[in-house]
Amino acid sequence: MSSALPTRTSKTPAEGGDGRARTGAPPPGSARPGSVARRRARAGWFFASPALLVVAAVTVFPVLFSLVLSFCEVRLDYGGLRLGSPTLGHYEALLTHPEWYRALAFTLGFTVVSVFAELVLGTLVALVLERLGAARGWILALLLLPWALINVIAAQLWSYLFNGTYGAVGWLCEQLFGTQPDILGEPVPAMAAMVVVDVWKTTPFVAIVVLAGLMLIPGDVYEAAEIDGAGPWTTFWKVTLPQLRPIVAIAVLFRILQAFGIFDLPFVLTQGGPGTATQSVAILGYRILFQNLDFGGGAAVAVTTAVIVMGCCLLFLRVFRAHVDEEGRA
Amino acid sequence: MSLRRRTLLTGALGAAAAGLLTGCGGKDLDDLLTRAAAVPRGPARLTWWVSEIPSRRGGIVADLIIKAFERRHPRISVSKINALSTSDGNRSAIATQLAGGSPQPDVYLGDTTWPAQFGDSSLALPVERLLPDGFWDAYPAALRTGSTHGGQVYAVPFFTDSAYLFYRKDLLAKHGLRLPRSWEELLHTSRTVQRAGDVEAGFLWQAAVTESLTANVTEFLADAGAAVLDGRGRAALGGAAAERAFSLMAEFTGSGVTPGTVATYEESDSQDAFTGGRGLFLRNWSYAWVNASAPGVSHVAGRIGAVPRPGFEGTGRSGVSCAGGWSNFVNPSSQALGAAMEFARFCAGEEVQRLLAREAGVVPAMTSVLTGPEARAAGDPTVLRAADLRLVARPVTPYYPQVSKALYTPANAVVRGDLSPADGVREAREGLRTALEGKAL
Amino acid sequence: MSRHIPRTGVRRYVNVVNLGGLLIAGCATLPLVWMASASFKGPGEISATPPSLLPEDPTLGNYETAFVRNGIGHYFLNSVVVACVSTVLILSLAFFAGYALARLPLRGRGAVMTALLMLSVFPPIALLVPLFLMERQAGLLNSYPGLIVPYVALNLPFAIWIMRNYLSGIPGELEEAAVVDGAGPLRTAVTVILPLARPGLFTAGVFAFTATWSEFLLALTFNGSDDRRTVSVGIALFTSQYQVPYGVIFAGAMVATVPIAVLVLVFRRSVVSGMTTGAVKG
């Protein structure tokens, strides 16, 4: 609990800020609480601003630009992109088109299933890793490999393994079940394949984050549980899991963001097919932007996606607010 | 109050955006064309965005072409930018750069289905006025049709891809079977050879949800005599002929002559299966000949033949092929329009066309070269028989990607057996109508 | 290294745990083994059925193609430069920002954190065109900074979140002692906090490095010219519409993956402690 001290106590004087009374820099070494807090407050922005400026410089304009594009008629002519009169047409076209809802449903389904699977598997893996002795280093290092694999390569590797003619997965299925399923050629297996690849590639991420969380749980908590006579199962549900929640919340949040933007996998594995079964929102946006060259429509996809994800995140943060705030200090 | 502030903000942003967008100032088409008409006398540098051109003898074809050009124009240097060969990745990269007004690449190689859309979006320079009189007489008419949109031509011919039926000579001979003259006969022949256990698949083609399937659908529809668009460019798909084409696609997979995985096949996958000895027949583009005949790559080298595609029984129509291929486009934002245009013209000219016949595994666009000494020396049936083909152009419309999607999505479902042929045709027509109105996603 | 007191029942689970470990290692690596093996297969064998686990007739032809014809070595160097510089920049910016957000009295901290999150919500494909316009104006296309700048900006939010969370877990006594000693915030941050922050930096660094190392779309669009291409784009160029050269793709993939794998395996001890150390909680 002591760790919460600096942030919590120093907040009040800073916010009370006797800004007008600031007459000069306090002499170095001065330990007067007010001036130290003031100095620290100024240092705060001084420290944070380079990073924030870089982020803002690169992302704010493109985001606003997309917003403007999505509400305008956009035309390309020999001078480049031209903005025409304002319109809601892009949103209207999108919201009245069944394909958008299908893409959204696939993306949501994919996100929920894969993030859930990764969370469960990642926690299991982390629990195993935590208990491993000397082998932990090796296995953790091996786990890092799929995750560090370049996305495009991972997608190519799996498209090779899933290949309908000579893929190893199909061959294995034939040996095990006697039939060779057409994995990428049928909607449900193709969706399942996406989840499998995503789980293979990103469970290590969740596992590592959870493992770091496990290591932060103080041993005395377990001792207390032991004294209370709790078995391993009860200990996990009543002690480990609640302690893990804040860190897991962060991991899940960022996984949701990533999974919702899924692009590389369907792009390489199925091109969104069969039919439009694995067409994610990002693939749809990409198609509208770069195949149809409809920059307004593409921007509308991006904005609607961002609004939806933002809504989910805010909801998520609200539910987990306490945990997120307490993250690391619990 | 807050509303006015928002309007102001939007306005300011819009102005800032517009300022950034039109960094090069409003450009006048006439001005561009004037600049493009003059071949520079002084030094100039060009960049050429070019994807891999299949090579016959191991040389890098693009480099040979550049060398030939620089010999003719010693003051112009050309450097090549390797484009992705996958049409989709290629398109996104080039479209981003062009829409961003990038002066590079000066010349880019693009698919024959791009001109209408790229022209409509001002991503390609209209070149008709910059080509000599009678220029088009030397090239197939379908190429010109496909490159024309709104009375303007947006692409300069380079090479064509045509669809052929590749087959295993050895297996047909073993069973004493003749080359099928119709799809019905092909189904029968395939089943005979498949039953004997000599081959896994009878007929390999492409039915993944990409442009590949659109090309196949277009050909099957033309085989059956069905039109996609009417004379005025409206959706005309329907009727018994269209259903016959869709039924054939369903029958291929339904009867097991084509494996179900064809629904995930693009050209490369079907070619790999064929060169791996898994198929009796293959529909593929002309370039497959070189790969399928290369002993190191192909298991079936020396045991294959290629002929124009068959047709339906009783229609008297065969040898249909989509007019495919790649043409050179000129970037309107190029700083060296004259040199760029000269390079595009050079690639269409006889010297390069003959070089293609000699070095590359593609069909040169220039008709006279198809029967010239280089082509005869190479002896590829895909080049020598190119004149016998009945070329059909895919729909020419600025909404081409949406039109293509309207065809391949239901066709893919028909191939997988998820949709009946009749429903497939109906869905395709509905999709086409929406797409042509520009309302499809 | 580990400060864990053995827990009840651990012994009993030793076998299950070890089995689990094996299973995890197997699942993680089997596809990669397959890739490694396929990279040594010739064009015929790579598409053979039944698939063979080990190449029957191993060949280096794919590697030759990847290196000689496709210059994978050069792409690899580009990737190393871009990913390393980006990671270093991300870490230095994120450390200070994370420190400020975690421990300094910053007004509007919540708003900043939320804004960072919001910016990372926006789909990257939508940023492509405006970013391209900006880079063209700034003359950054086909240069290392042209990729490094957007990589830093796009990966900073997550790194800041990690650093903030990590740093708010560090006990305050040391910092307070430094303040009492009269150390300014900068000195406190560098001399007191930075050494303690190493595990957090390590985690954030691994995340940043993997993200920048594998990025594809921006690299393809902004650094299209041959001499500035990164590995992910270079490998994508191997695919052609004419055939799927899986062998060459995997050879290139091996070139891109093996150095990282070797690094990770050799330094696995520091990797483990770096990524999971909880010792700072004391």
Q: Domains in chain B and their CATH numbers?
A: 27-161+324-387 (3.40.190.10), 163-322+399-436 (3.40.190.10)
According to DSSP, the β-strands at B324-330 and B156-161 are: antiparallel
Distance from first CA to last CA of chain A, Å, rounded?
7
* Of residues C81, C82, C98, C85, the one with CA closest to residue C156: C98
Instruction: Read off the tokens for C201.
Output: 């930096």
Kindly report the three-state secondary structure assignment for every residue of chain A: CHHHHHHHHHHHHHHHCCHHHCCCCCCCCCCCHHHHHHHHHHHHHHHHHHHHHHHHHHHHHHHHHHHHHHCEEEEEECCEEEEEEECCHHHHHHHCCHHHHHHHHHHHHHHHHHHHHHHHHHHHHHHHHHHCCCCHHHHHHHHHHHHHCCHHHHHHHHHHHCCCCCCHHHHHHHHHHCCCCCHHHCHHHHHHHHHHHHHHHHHHHHHHHHHHHHHHCCHHHHHHHHHCCCCHHHHHHHHHHHHHHHHHHHHHHHHHHHHHCCCHHHHHHCCCCCCCCCCCHHHHHHHHHHHCCCHHHHHHHHHHHHHHHHHHHHHHHHHHHHHHHHCCCC
CB contact under 8 Å between A306 and C184, yes or no, is no
Q: Comparing B134 with A330, which gets the higher pLDDT?
A: B134
Structural element, H or E, at residue B290: helix B288-292
| Chain B contact present for C71, CB below 8 A | no
pLDDT the model gives residue B25: 45
pLDDT the model gives residue A314: 80
DSSP designation for C56: S
Collect all residues of chain A within an 8 Å Cβ-Cβ radius of residue B99.
76, 80-81, 293, 295
Question: Which among C225, C236, C243 has CB closest to B268?
Answer: C243
| Chain C contact present for B52, CB below 8 A | yes
Q: Cβ of C55: how many Cβ atoms within 10 Å? A: 17
* Of residues C245, C43, C230, the one with CA closest to residue B52: C245
The Cα–Cα gap between B268 and C248 comes to 15
Interface test with A, best of B7, B264, B415, B418 (most A CBs within 10 A): B264
Reported confidence tier of residue A328, pLDDT bands at 50, 70, 90: very low
pLDDT the model gives residue A145: 87
Reduced to 3 states, what is the DSSP secondary structure of residue C253?
helix
The Cα–Cα gap between B140 and B370 comes to 11
Interface test with B, best of C243, C244, C248 (most B CBs within 10 A): C243
Distances (CA, A) of A27 to A39, A308, C183: 11, 51, 12
Reduced to 3 states, what is the DSSP secondary structure of residue B385?
coil
Q: Comparing A10 with A186, which gets the higher pLDDT?
A: A186
Asked if B312 contacts B244 with a C-beta cutoff of 8 angstroms, the reply is yes
Collect all residues of chain C within an 8 Å Cβ-Cβ radius of residue A282.
123, 125
Reported confidence tier of residue C275, pLDDT bands at 50, 70, 90: low
pLDDT the model gives residue B424: 96
Residue C146 domain flag: yes
**Mean pLDDT value across residues C66-94:** 91
| pLDDT tens by residue, A99-150 | 999 999 999 999 999 999 999 999 999 988 888 877 788 888 888 888 888 8
CB contact under 8 Å between A80 and B260, yes or no, is no
Asked if A207 contacts A122 with a C-beta cutoff of 8 angstroms, the reply is yes
CB contact under 8 Å between B27 and A290, yes or no, is no
Q: Comparing C279 with A219, which gets the higher pLDDT?
A: A219
CB contact under 8 Å between A79 and B210, yes or no, is no
Structural element, H or E, at residue C103: helix C72-103
Q: Is residue C226 pLDDT above 80, yes or no?
A: no
Residue C157 domain flag: yes
Collect all residues of chain C within an 8 Å Cβ-Cβ radius of residue B85.
237, 239-242
pLDDT the model gives residue B14: 53
Percent of chain A clearing pLDDT 90 (strictly above): 18
The Cα–Cα gap between B36 and B340 comes to 8
Percent of chain A clearing pLDDT 70 (strictly above): 86
Q: Looking at this predicted complex, what is its ipTM?
A: 0.83
User: Domain limits at C225?
Assistant: 70-238
Reported confidence tier of residue A326, pLDDT bands at 50, 70, 90: very low
pLDDT the model gives residue C89: 97
pLDDT the model gives residue B23: 43
Asked if B308 contacts B165 with a C-beta cutoff of 8 angstroms, the reply is yes
Q: Comparing B78 with A19, which gets the higher pLDDT?
A: B78
Interface test with A, best of C10, C106, C135 (most A CBs within 10 A): C106
- Measure in Å the smallest separation between the Cα of B372 and chain A Cα atoms: 38
Chain A residues 136-165 with CB within 8 Å of chain B: 163-165
Q: How many domains, chain C? A: 1
- Domain A89-326 coded CATH 1.10.260.40: no
The Cα–Cα gap between B397 and B233 comes to 8
| Chain C contact present for B268, CB below 8 A | yes
pLDDT the model gives residue A22: 36
Asked if A317 contacts A324 with a C-beta cutoff of 8 angstroms, the reply is yes
The Cα–Cα gap between B410 and B433 comes to 14
Residues of chain B with pLDDT below 50 are 1-3, 22-25
**CATH number of the domain that C180 lies in?**
1.10.3720.10
Highest mean pLDDT out of A110-114, A239-243, C121-125: A110-114
Chain A neighbours, 3+ Cβ pairs < 8 A: B, C
| pLDDT tens by residue, A140-184 | 888 888 888 888 889 989 999 998 888 888 888 888 888 877 888
Q: Comparing B255 with C278, which gets the higher pLDDT?
A: B255
Chain A residues 278-317 with CB within 8 Å of chain B: 284, 286-293, 295, 297
| Chain A contact present for B32, CB below 8 A | yes
CB contact under 8 Å between B20 and C133, yes or no, is yes
Instruction: Read off the tokens for A272.
Output: 């969104």
C89 CB-near residues (< 8 Å, 6+ apart)? C148, C152
Percent of chain C clearing pLDDT 90 (strictly above): 18
Residues comprising chain A, all counted: 330
* Of residues C252, C218, C222, the one with CA closest to residue C237: C252
Encode burial over A158-169: b for 16+ CB neighbours within 10 A, e otherwise. bbbbbbbbbbbb
User: What pTM does this model have?
Assistant: 0.84
pLDDT the model gives residue A287: 86
Q: Is residue C33 pLDDT above 50, yes or no?
A: yes
Domain edges within chain A? 2-12+29-70, 89-326
Reported confidence tier of residue A1, pLDDT bands at 50, 70, 90: very low
Find where tokens 């190029």 sit: B334
Collect all residues of chain B within an 8 Å Cβ-Cβ radius of residue C132.
96-97, 100, 102
pLDDT the model gives residue B19: 52
Q: Cβ of B74: how many Cβ atoms within 10 Å? A: 9
| Chain A contact present for B95, CB below 8 A | yes
pLDDT the model gives residue C277: 57
B267 CB-near residues (< 8 Å, 6+ apart)? B206, B212, B284, B285, B288, C241, C242
Residue C40 domain flag: no
